[in-house]
């Protein structure tokens, strides 16, 4: 069910992790970019990037796929493990897995988000198994489970792996607060001890989030970043409830209504209300949809089991009314196992590689740049920049880009606005966030800022082509296919007196369709690479 391919930012994550492993320290300022000088880099994905870099160094694409598979198994397996401990049968567990895979299908690329999801289900498992009456009936025994004290450890790791830890902290606060609120409404004598326990647990969890390389600075940056809109990033757009992507959400709503209607288990309102709050966030921002599914699998598990038992009883009653006696048959596993093996054999060739699609990424353009030794400051469209960083880290370490998917972690807003003027154009506020302090709209300014040598962008961006053609006295087209255009500064590549002159017969201007895939990391390999690396070392000396 998962999307199979390389994420736009995967090359960047692997490269930044490798840089840390090579240098032995976290880089305090932006790397691999010519757009900014000594700008503070608050990296909230260190553990994720180090893990991906280690996986790539140890096993290449196989290592990355194994890491992805492990994280997805944690995400799918943890709710099933908890549900089975609570007495759920195989059919309710199948529904749990289905809810998860359908709602995570578009969020399952190898990226730091998977660490967020895995750590979230672990936090939910600790909460559900340790909090009395979290998802099952309250009883007279009132004893908090030891598993609750794993939550601060989980949040500490989460804080250093991905910015989603703030969502986890908010969900923890909501559930603990609603749990105490229920006791207050019921005037339960255990209210005081519960509030005392929850306050200590949450305080320790907040303190655990301070254990990171940046201390309070990380949290200040996260809150300031979340306070600004991101309409240009699709994952932050509202969930389209009336389109196909909204179908998994409505399927979850149907599962909730059907299971609660047929369930005889006690409805535990704190968990359901907390999940409802997360659902509201998912409607506002589609990237939160997996959190709804993961939360619901824990909250709904007892009701799925109860509803399934009720359905089974009704079926038995109908059989008895028809004058037949139910016959218990031993399940035949031969056919399902054979089908599973056949599916694995069919899927293995596809799933054993991490594909990079030519019709999505500028693979051919990068091969052209490598063959003709084109390097330097490259202004490359936002969603290709980290692929370019991955290529340059191997082939031309002296090259730099502007700007990339690290977004506000590495770039001030006025720099982002300057490059977005060129890439996105003058869009309305509903489609693009732009600060008034960035000055008037000017799509030409990015072409001169810090003197880029090359410009690489998607041909589908008509505004980019218009800007380049308007500046054709300064820029010349070096490469073109159906997917990408590569322009070079005339004073460098169009002047016969220049040492980097690229004559017309060596340029490649066509409409050749880009199709097919190459395996990760899709980095061109040429005989010039050792020479280029040696030149870089000489420059450094």
Alpha-carbon span 292 to 289, nearest angstrom = 5
Q: For the whole prediction, is pTM greater than 0.95?
A: no
- Is there a contact between 72 and 116 (Cβ–Cβ < 8 Å)? no
How does strand 400-402 pair with strand 377-380? Answer: parallel
**Would you give the end-to-end CA distance of the chain in angstroms?**
51
CB-neighbour burial class of residue 179 (10 A; exposed 0-12, middle 13-18, buried 19+) = buried
Q: Please count the other Cβ atoms lying within 10 Å of the Cβ belonging to residue 303.
A: 25
* Omega of the bond leading into 521 within 30 degrees of 0 (cis): yes
CA dihedral of 178, 184, 188, 191, whole degrees rounded to 10: 70
- Is there a contact between 49 and 112 (Cβ–Cβ < 8 Å)? yes
Token digits of residue 390: 């991955």
Give me the residue label for tokens 């736009």. 8
Q: Report the SS3 class of residue 380.
A: strand
Give residue 354's region: left, alpha or beta (phi > 0; psi -120 to 50).
beta
- pLDDT tens across the length of the chain (541 residues): 677 889 999 999 999 999 999 999 999 999 999 999 899 999 999 999 999 999 999 999 999 999 999 999 999 999 999 999 989 998 999 999 999 999 988 888 999 999 999 999 999 999 999 998 888 877 666 788 899 999 999 999 999 999 999 999 999 999 999 999 998 998 988 899 999 999 999 999 999 999 999 999 999 999 888 877 777 787 888 898 988 888 999 999 999 999 999 999 989 999 999 999 999 999 998 889 999 999 999 999 999 999 999 988 888 888 777 776 655 555 566 777 888 788 888 877 778 899 999 999 999 999 999 999 999 999 999 999 999 999 999 999 999 999 899 999 999 999 999 999 999 999 998 889 999 999 999 999 999 999 999 999 999 999 999 999 999 999 999 999 999 999 999 999 999 999 999 999 999 999 999 999 999 999 998 644 444 444 443 434 4
- Is there a contact between 202 and 172 (Cβ–Cβ < 8 Å)? yes
Alpha-carbon span 231 to 431, nearest angstrom = 5
Q: What is the DSSP string of 499-515?
A: TT---GGG-EE--PPP-
CA neighbor of 249 nearest in space, from 280, 227, 205: 280
Q: Please count the other Cβ atoms lying within 10 Å of the Cβ belonging to residue 376.
A: 18
């Amino acid at each position: 069910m998962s999307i199979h391919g390389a994420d736009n930012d995967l090359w960047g994550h692997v490269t930044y992790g490798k840089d840390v492993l090579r240098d032995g320290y976290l880089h305090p300022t932006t790397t691999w970019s010519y757009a900014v000088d000594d700008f503070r880099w608050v990296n909230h994905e260190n553990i994720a990037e180090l893990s991906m870099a280690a996986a790539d160094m140890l096993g290449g694409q196989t290592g990355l796929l194994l890491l992805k598979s492990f994280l997805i198994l944690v995400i799918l397996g943890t709710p099933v493990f908890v549900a089975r401990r609570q007495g759920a049968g195989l059919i309710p567990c199948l529904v749990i897995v289905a809810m998860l895979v359908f709602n995570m299908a578009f969020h399952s690329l190898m990226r730091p988000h998977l660490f967020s999801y895995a750590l979230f289900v672990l936090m939910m498992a600790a909460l559900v198994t340790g909090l009395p009456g979290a998802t099952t009936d309250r009883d007279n025994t009132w004893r908090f489970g030891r598993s609750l004290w794993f939550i601060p450890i989980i949040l500490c790791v989460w804080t250093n792996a991905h910015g989603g830890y703030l969502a986890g902290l908010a969900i923890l606060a909501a559930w603990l607060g609603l749990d105490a609120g229920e006791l207050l409404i019921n005037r339960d004598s255990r209210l005081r001890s519960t509030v005392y326990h929850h306050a200590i647990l949450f305080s320790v969890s907040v303190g655990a989030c301070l254990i990171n390389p940046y201390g309070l600075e990380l949290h200040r940056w996260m809150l300031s970043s979340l306070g600004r809109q991101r309409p240009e990033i699709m994952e932050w757009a509202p969930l389209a409830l009336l389109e196909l992507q909204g179908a998994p959400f409505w399927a979850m709503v149907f599962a909730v209504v059907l299971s609660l209607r047929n369930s005889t288990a006690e409805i535990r309102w704190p968990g359901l209300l907390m999940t409802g709050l997360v659902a509201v966030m998912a409607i506002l921002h589609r990237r939160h949809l997996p959190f709804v599914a993961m939360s619901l699998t824990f909250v709904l598990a007892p009701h799925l089991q109860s509803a399934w038992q009720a359905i089974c009883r009704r079926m038995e009653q109908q059989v008895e009314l028809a004058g037949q006696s139910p016959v218990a048959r031993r399940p035949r596993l031969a056919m399902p196992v054979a089908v599973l093996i056949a599916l694995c054999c069919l899927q293995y060739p596809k799933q054993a590689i991490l594909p990079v699609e030519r019709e999505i990424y500028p693979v051919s353009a990068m091969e052209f740049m490598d063959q003709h030794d084109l390097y330097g400051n490259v202004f490359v469209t936002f969603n290709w920049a980290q692929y370019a960083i991955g290529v340059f880290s191997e082939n031309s370490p002296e090259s730099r880009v502007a700007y990339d998917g690290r977004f506000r972690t590495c770039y001030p807003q006025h720099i982002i606005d300057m490059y977005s003027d060129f890439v996105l154009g003058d869009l309305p506020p509903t489609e693009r966030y732009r600060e008034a302090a960035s000055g008037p709209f000017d799509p030409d300014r990015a072409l001169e800022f810090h003197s880029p040598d090359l410009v690489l962008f998607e041909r589908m961006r008509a505004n980019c082509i218009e800007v380049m053609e308007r500046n054709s006295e300064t820029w010349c087209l070096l490469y073109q296919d159906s997917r990408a255009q590569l322009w070079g500064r005339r004073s460098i590549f169009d002047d016969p007196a220049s040492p980097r002159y690229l004559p017309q017969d060596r340029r490649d201007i066509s409409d050749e369709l880009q199709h097919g895939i190459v395996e990760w990391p899709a980095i061109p390999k040429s005989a010039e690479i050792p020479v280029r690396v040696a030149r870089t070392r000489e420059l450094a000396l």
